[in-house]
Amino acid sequence: MANTGFCAFCCRRKWVKRDWAIATVAITVIIAAVIIVILFFTVFSDSRNRKTSSPTFAPPSAGDFVPLTLLQSAKATGAFCLDGSLPGYHFQKGFGSGSSNWLLHIEGGGWCNSIESCNSRKGTSLGSSNYMEHQVQFSGILSQDPSQNPDFYNWNKVKLRYCDGASFAGHPESEFKNGTELFFRSQLIWEAMMNELLSLGLSKAKEALLTGCSAGGLATFIHCDDFRDQLPKDATVKCLADAGYFLDEPDILGNRTMLAFYRDVLQLQGVAKSLQQDCVGRMEPVKCIFPQEIIKNVKTPFFVVNPAYDSWQIENILVPIGSDPQGYWSSCRLSIKKCDATQIKRLQGYRDAMLKALSMFQRNEEGGMFINSCFSHCQTSYSAWHSPNSPRINNKTMAESVGDWYFNRKESKLIDCPYPCNPTCNNDDYT
């Protein structure tokens, strides 16, 4: 029977009062011991996880999210997003040795070149603050973790949200008054943003860096010298554009798609007024929006971060929609790993055009560059900036190269070998 063993043990003799007393004491001791162990580990764990009081200059944890601030002062000047909402920014205060230094990062997100595309855009965070995240996580060049951002981790950092579609360079004179309800006020947004940040302490900056990605990178080219002019004369002020060096190159059919696109943006939003006027006076204004022309006259020290095989440019400038009706490029334009030998040769030609467009700037003594051979786009605001998996040139990350340049530690003009020579690249794959 199943209970035979148990019964044989229990029925040997009847327990007396002494036996019950001993058992009760033993059980009490065991329970007490368990409680003590539980309390010990609870207190120990709590002492490890409890936040201790910190000095006022200590940073929040690296994973903290930074809240959105709407620019209330924009009402007075009419500096509105495409849909008429207030523009916004995210501000994280600096600490310690970085409390007087500022890093501004302009968000990217393309452009709109027609009433239809701007109307579509105003229903997104790229055209309206009504759709912006209330909090964003700062990473890469915006990170407060010194292991991810060794030179700028404790600076005051601001992310300028992009809600206009013209790289902060549009003008209201070009607004349509026929009921479209679109606001082309991006130059006013830039000015209102600067006034706000100057009042928060930027006006007393000792060191400052204006950065931007993609369309924000183009905005950095456009506004770099104006940024410099608004800060103290004895401040160290420099600019960095990430994936903003857009080329005026023909697509695979020989059409200058990007030139035509930018021409529409300029005409629609009156961008020419924000471009260098000596350039606008010498040539067709649309040519003055390309960084190759802008950089010739920028007086402020500048750093260019750009992949030679910029994935956005390959997809939208070299092989834009409509240029490949047979679909020969359908996979290659989205992933360099899926290109055949003929296509790779064409991509090498695009790299050559990129390096040619940068050749004059390469001789600029105050300039810096990090041109890797990755198939990617924006890199500085993500882990590619500085991590074990970051792309490297001569064993240097972007963060190390930019730091060397900004603080004048050494010359920093790095150009990678042609694809596929760099094993540190984490190439985009949009297929």
- Between CA 58 and CA 63, with CA 59 as vertex, the angle to 5 degrees is 150
- 186 touches 269 (CB < 8 A): yes
Q: b vs e for 350-381, b when ≥16 Cβ sit within 10 Å of the residue's Cβ?
A: bbebbeebbeebeebeebbbbbbbbbbbbbbb
- Establish how many alpha carbons lie within 13 A of residue 296's alpha carbon, considering only the half-sphere containing its beta carbon: 13
Backbone angles phi, psi at 277, to 5 degrees: -70, -30
Backbone angles phi, psi at 14, to 5 degrees: -85, 130
* Catalytic residue list contains 377: yes
Residues 164, 248, 310, 428: which is the catalytic one?
310
Backbone angles phi, psi at 47, to 5 degrees: -65, -25
**Alpha-carbon separation of residue 257 from 182, 261, 264, 320 (angstroms):** 25, 6, 11, 8
- 222 touches 244 (CB < 8 A): no
Residues 377, 386, 390, 416: which is the catalytic one?
377
* Lookup: tokens for 54: 């910190």
Residues 128, 129, 214, 390: which is the catalytic one?
214
Parallel, antiparallel or unpaired: strands 413-415 and 88-92: unpaired
Helix, strand, or coil (residue 68):
strand
* Catalytic residue list contains 90: no
- 383 touches 390 (CB < 8 A): yes
* Lookup: tokens for 297: 């006259």
- 351 touches 373 (CB < 8 A): yes
* Catalytic residue list contains 85: no
d(CA 311, CA 392): 18
d(CA 308, CA 431): 20
Beta-bridge mates of residue 240: 211, 303
**Catalytic residue IDs:** 214, 310, 377
